[in-house]
């Protein structure tokens, strides 16, 4: 078998070259384009600002106004977006939703930070909701609002008004400090819940939930050395040209697409998370559906399109923190033993771990009194 990292060092395209060459990414349609979906229908907008203006002027749903009236912080903004999507999905009339979000209304209490806040609304209703990435845009005044504020600021107010701004600034600092404390508390709770989920032994559900959202995949795709290494290895010579390839834990399907572009005769990507649905769409968007099949399931249990036939190449990005964190190696070894032909290629087929000693007296003293 040919090791991935050896392939990269000798390959036609080094990882650093891949990072500089954006043309490769342009071949994969839809990888970065992301419209913003309306909170009340199927209409899509080119930007969050476009959505905010449309909803305010055409629907009377002023997200900035609601956020200001309820004094929402960032988490309140996230709750607001998810609450709106949930209420619309449940068929609640828009006028009823707006009335419920008025200060003191039953819905307003669910989004404002406090004892009655509904933290379940921090869970995205939609996968890869672009509006959640733009919450700050409606927690701040828009261009029209800023112009009005500028006009108001030139009405002859003098030094007395400017003096009153000083305590207000102090209040803003206190509010930010409170938000920071709330954020830390929420993060701690979410980490504890995540750890508890991982500790239950239900690793299948834990993996599926962890990798069903685009955020973690964006982090990996933006890692140019990592992604470039796989691209270089799969593109080298005739490693996959005319071959049958199995991609274990395919995620967004990027490695499957690399293999297809490199001339593979057949590619099957398998992923246990809901991201398999997105991968199918990306395969279609890139015109590779005749070559690439995406299977939703565990490689140990899934029925693959080629049945019990052997494959020529197995590729997988299974490495996690400290190499083994993602607990995927067992799946890769299962696929190797069941599907890889004798003399086939496993990518990668070797890894090296380094261990270094650490001396930190301050850290060690902590354990003297626990």
Active site residue ranges: 317, 326
Q: Residue 214: which of 83, 124, 294 has the closest Cα?
A: 124
Cis peptide before 348 (omega within 30 of 0): yes
What is the DSSP annotation of 339-353?
HEEEEEEEES-----
Q: Which residues neighbour 363 within 8 Å (Cβ) at sequence distance 6 or greater?
A: none
What is the DSSP annotation of 138-189?
HHS--HHHHHHHHHHTTSS--HHHHHHHHHHHHHHHHHHHHHHHHHHHHHHH
Whether the CA torsion 355, 359, 363, 367 is positive or negative: it is: positive
Token duo for residue 136? 């700050």
Answer yes or no: are the C-beta atoms of 266 and 43 closer than 8 Å: no
State the Cα–Cα distance between residues 100 and 66, nearest whole angstrom: 11
The b/e string for 200-211 (b: 16+ C-beta within 10 A; e otherwise) is: eeeeeebbbeeb
Q: Residue 304: which of 340, 330, 328, 252 has the closest Cα?
A: 340
User: What's the distance, Cα to Cα, between the start and end of the chain in Å?
Assistant: 50
């Amino acid at each position: 078998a040919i090791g991935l990292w050896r392939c990269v060092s000798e390959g036609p395209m080094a990882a650093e070259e891949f990072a500089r060459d954006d043309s490769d990414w342009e071949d994969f349609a839809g990888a970065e384009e992301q419209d913003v979906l309306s909170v009340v229908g199927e209409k899509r907008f080119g930007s969050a600002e476009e959505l905010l203006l449309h909803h305010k002027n055409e629907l009377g749903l002023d997200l900035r106004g609601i956020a200001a009236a309820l004094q929402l912080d960032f988490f309140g903004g996230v709750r607001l977006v998810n609450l709106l999507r949930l209420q619309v999905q449940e068929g609640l009339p828009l006028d009823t939703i707006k009335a419920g979000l008025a200060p003191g209304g039953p819905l307003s209490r669910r989004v404002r930070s406090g004892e009655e806040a509904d933290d379940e609304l921090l869970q995205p209703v939609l996968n890869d909701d672009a509006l959640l990435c733009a919450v700050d845009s409606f927690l701040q005044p828009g261009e029209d609002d800023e112009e009005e504020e500028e006009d108001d600021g030139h009405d002859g107010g003098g030094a007395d008004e400017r003096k009153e701004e000083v305590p207000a600034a102090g209040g803003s600092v206190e509010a930010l400090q409170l938000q920071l404390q709330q954020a830390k508390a929420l993060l701690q709770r979410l980490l504890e819940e995540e750890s508890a989920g991982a500790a239950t032994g239900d690793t299948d559900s834990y993996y599926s939930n962890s990798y069903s959202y685009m955020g973690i995949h964006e982090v990996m795709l933006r890692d140019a050395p990592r992604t470039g290494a796989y691209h270089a290895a799969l593109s080298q010579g005739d490693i996959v040209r005319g071959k049958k390839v199995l991609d274990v834990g395919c995620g967004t399907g990027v490695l499957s697409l690399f293999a297809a572009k490199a001339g593979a005769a057949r590619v099957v990507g398998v992923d246990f998370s809901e991201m398999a649905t997105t991968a199918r769409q990306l395969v279609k968007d890139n015109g590779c559906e005749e070559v690439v099949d995406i299977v939703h399931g565990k490689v140990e249990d899934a029925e693959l399109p080629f049945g019990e036939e052997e494959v020529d190449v197995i590729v997988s990005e299974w490495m996690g923190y400290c190499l083994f964190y993602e607990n995927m190696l067992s799946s890769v070894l299962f696929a190797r033993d069941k599907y890889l032909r004798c003399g086939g290629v496993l990518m990668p087929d070797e890894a090296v771990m380094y261990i270094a000693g650490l001396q930190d007296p301050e850290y060690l003293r902590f354990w003297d009194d626990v």
